[in-house]
Amino acid sequence: MYRANDRRYDTIKYNRCGYSGLKLPEVSLGLWHNFGDTAVYDNMKKLCFTAFDNGITHFDLANNYGPEPGSAEKNFGRIVKENFLPYRDEMIISTKAGYDMWPGPYGDWGSKKYLTASLDQSLMRMGLAYVDIFYHHRMDPETPLEETMEALNQAVRSGKALYVGLSNYDGETMKKAAAILKDLKCPFIINQNSYNIFNRTIEKNGLKDACAEEKKGIISFSPLAQGMLTDRYLKGIPSDSRIVTDGRFLNADQLSDSRLACIRGLDRIASERGESLAQMALKWVLKDNVVTSVLVGASKPEQILDNLKVIKSAPFTEEELKKIDEFS
């Protein structure tokens, strides 16, 4: 039976999530990749053990993470049952619903029918009585926002979720949703969006400013731009790269000559700071205390340990931020 490191809370930093009582580790583990049925189970366990042993208490999933959809939750549930049950009260486990999950009109988007059924299925796959955070995964242009928010509220009132969040929302829609959830007295505390040096959409669509104004947390997924903001592609595309083995979320076309030149320029800035490109990229996302946590994915335990070095990373100078902007 797994026994956690007794000193797991000694070094990692925990940030308060918006205006709430919940704190999240500065670095969280995302199970978007490497936890489906095509991955190796023993490696999944090592990733979870390494994370928790170093103070990463937050594990983030979604109903459709795989492949196949649902398999990441199933595999994580097995890991929890076999190893983490004594530590459940020290863990933050989140899941989401909003993307295509099963055939027919009730397995997608934001209806109360879909969200309620999906959460029940997620809990069953993971063998849990509740999740700590339940997200709506994307905006639905057709379902009334009030209905989707009521589904989130029901998840909390039923005891199946402690808090709720929104993912891939823009600033204007998030503020409308926040008003509805406030009236319902539903604990909406966090937004999950892609945010990194190359992708600054939440700055352009008002989400980042709206979160600061509404006192909501932000957790960034893809803070390393699917691996582009690492040293992995500085010398070409490795044979075991996600581009070669998967290709759904990162492909060779995205690594154009101009993009590679930017990556090399950013790597030089990181070297001057005495850190890896990945560490600098994570620090950049966290630089102004608006983002609560960064979600990192990993295929090897060593990658988690490397990313955790961001905790000791130095603040940026104005000159460094200007140089980063030039390459973004």
Query: Residue 117 in contact with residue 98, Cβ under 8 Å?
Result: no
CA distances (Å), origin 149, targets 112, 142, 145, 171, 303: 9, 14, 6, 16, 37
pLDDT at site 203: 98
pLDDT at site 256: 80
* Element at 321 (helix H, strand E): helix 318-326
Query: Residue 24 in contact with residue 17, Cβ under 8 Å?
Result: yes
pLDDT at site 244: 46
Tell me if residue 327 falls in helix, strand or coil: coil
Q: Nearest to residue 260, comparing CAs of 227, 292, 233?
A: 233
Question: Which residues are CB-neighbours of 268 under 8 A, at least 6 positions away?
Answer: none
Tell me if residue 159 falls in helix, strand or coil: coil
Q: Is 291 exposed, middle or buried (0-12, 13-18, 19+ CB in 10 A)?
A: buried
Fold topology of 14-231+285-315? TIM Barrel (3.20.20)
Token pair in block for residue 256? 């154009």
Q: Using CA atoms, how far apart are residues 132 and 138, in angstroms rounded to an integer? A: 19
DSSP count for the chain of H helices, then E strands: 12, 10
* In the chain, domain spans: 14-231+285-315
Q: Name the pTM for this structure.
A: 0.94
pLDDT at site 237: 63
Q: Using CA atoms, how far apart are residues 2 and 44, in angstroms rounded to an integer? A: 14
Q: Using CA atoms, how far apart are residues 186 and 165, in angstroms rounded to an integer? A: 10
Q: pLDDT tens string for the chain (328 positions)?
A: 899 999 999 999 999 999 999 999 999 999 999 999 999 999 999 999 999 999 999 999 999 999 999 999 999 999 999 999 999 999 999 999 999 999 999 999 999 999 999 999 999 999 999 999 999 999 999 999 999 999 999 999 999 999 999 999 999 999 999 999 999 999 999 999 999 999 999 999 999 999 999 999 999 999 999 899 998 888 766 655 655 455 555 655 677 888 899 999 999 999 999 999 999 999 999 999 999 999 999 999 999 999 999 988 999 999 999 999 999 8
Token pair in block for residue 284? 């950049």
Cα dihedral 45/117/86/3 (nearest 10): 10
